[in-house]
Structure 1
Amino acid sequence: MINWNREPVATRHQFNPAFIAELVRHTCVGHGKAAGAMPFALAFLAVPLVMYPDSRGTINGASDTQLHTWITKHPAARISLAPRVRALVPYVRLGVAFGLTQRALSLDERGQLIVVRRVKTRGAPTPAIEASDYMKGARTLGRWFGRVGEPSNVFLMLGLTP
């Protein structure tokens, strides 16, 4: 469990559960356009990819491509992804839980995430970057993930084991 009182202010701001919930919701929106409800596990991949500027910038610049093409053009995004995913698991869990309790997200009968409504957030995680950049990247990833199909294939494409 995260002890928010011990976290630096910047971390509390950037990994705000409402903001993470909104990132997951946008990923679900993108996934929904490509393939319907989003498998829960994909939230743990989307947030680390969108939160880090190096990968977010390349995702937003390649929204008209596919996941495989993006990975081929930007192999460095895979190099540090596993530690990022591990580090952000508690924040993603808290964000999804927040989204579920606020009824912005819901789980279907198969345990997949579906969008219910928007989460109200307070500002961008960093003042220099608009929150819309994060949301655009999340929607793009959701669409790419949906086009791949099975979540295990998404994990494998990113060099991770599901």
Structure 2
Amino acid sequence: MTEWTNRPQEERALLNPAFCATLLWHAASVRKGASRPLAFEECFLVLPLVLPAMTRDALPATTATAMLNWLENNPVEQRRLVVRSRLMVPFTRTALLFGATRGFFRVTRETLEAEEKWGGKVKGFERGSSSEVRACVQKARFVSKWFLKAGSPSTVLAILGVRP
């Protein structure tokens, strides 16, 4: 991986561990009280779906749109996701490590669970953020709910065409 200071400004901003950890926190936080927490393997799909504006904008507006239907209408996005998810693994790992070591969330072999005590600070960050950052946050929450509606983690990965 390229040294952080030698990366383009946009990459440093979008892929910075704190920002990526915040998106993962939001994805995990919407699962509080749900039938299952965010699966560890699903974490690796959040950033590739949320960070690229083209993909983020192509995502459906509600979870009423089935993932399979969305993929039928957006086959290019599925191909992009397969490639992008592999490329984003190091950034997701770094974000997970960053967040876990700071008590932002709990990471187990199977799940990611947001620490509620960070809710106020995260919401304060969101309020002071740009519209693009808020869009990323909103879609991180959306994709987590969408994954839950689609079925088990293995079903989500199979539908999206990615392998752990």
TM above 0.5? yes
| Distance in 2 separating the partners of 1:35 and 1:65 | 20
Give structure 1 stretches of 5+ with no counterpart.
none
| Distance in 2 separating the partners of 1:30 and 1:2 | 33
**For 1:95-138, what per-residue CA distance to the aligned partner results, in whole angstroms no more than 9, with x for missing partners?**
11111112111135x531101024655975xx6x4311001111
**Which range is displaced more, 145-154 or 85-94?**
145-154
| Distance in 2 separating the partners of 1:100 and 1:37 | 16
TM-score, normalization by structure 1? 0.84
| Distance in 2 separating the partners of 1:26 and 1:60 | 18
| Distance in 1 separating the partners of 2:53 and 2:75 | 15
Picking from 151, 156, 162, the partner of 1:154 is 156
Structure 1 residue 80: Cα displacement: 1.3
Q: Go from structure 1 to structure 2 and tell me whether the alpha carbon gap of 1:161 and 1:71 turns closer, same or farther (over 3 Å shift).
A: same
| Distance in 1 separating the partners of 2:68 and 2:21 | 26
Please tell me whether residue 19 in structure 1 is matched to residue 29 in structure 2. Answer: no
Structure 1 residue 26: Cα displacement: 1.3
Q: Which residue of 1 aligns with 2:38?
A: 38
Q: Secondary structure at the match of 2:59?
A: helix
**Which range is displaced more, 68-77 or 131-140?**
68-77
Q: Which residue of 1 aligns with 2:136?
A: 134
Please tell me whether residue 3 in structure 1 is matched to residue 3 in structure 2. Answer: yes
Q: Which one-letter code corresponds to 1:65 in the other structure? A: T
| Distance in 1 separating the partners of 2:35 and 2:57 | 24
| Distance in 2 separating the partners of 1:150 and 1:143 | 12
| Distance in 1 separating the partners of 2:151 and 2:32 | 12
Q: Which one-letter code corresponds to 2:151 in the other structure? A: G
Alignment of 1:13-162 (within 5 A): 13-32=13-32, 34-59=34-59, 61-108=61-108, 111-116=110-115, 117-118=118-119, 129-162=131-164
Q: Secondary structure at the match of 1:106?
A: strand
Q: Go from structure 1 to structure 2 and tell me whether the alpha carbon gap of 1:152 and 1:2 turns closer, same or farther (over 3 Å shift).
A: farther
Greater share of residues in helix: 2
Q: Go from structure 1 to structure 2 and tell me whether the alpha carbon gap of 1:31 and 1:59 turns closer, same or farther (over 3 Å shift).
A: farther
- How many residues are aligned here? 158
Q: Which one-letter code corresponds to 1:132 in the other structure? A: R
Give structure 2 stretches of 5+ with no counterpart.
none
Q: Secondary structure at the match of 1:114?
A: strand
CA contact (8 A) 1:32 1:143 kept: no
Higher-RCO chain (CA-CA 8 Å, sequence separation at least 6): 1
TM-score, normalization by structure 2? 0.83
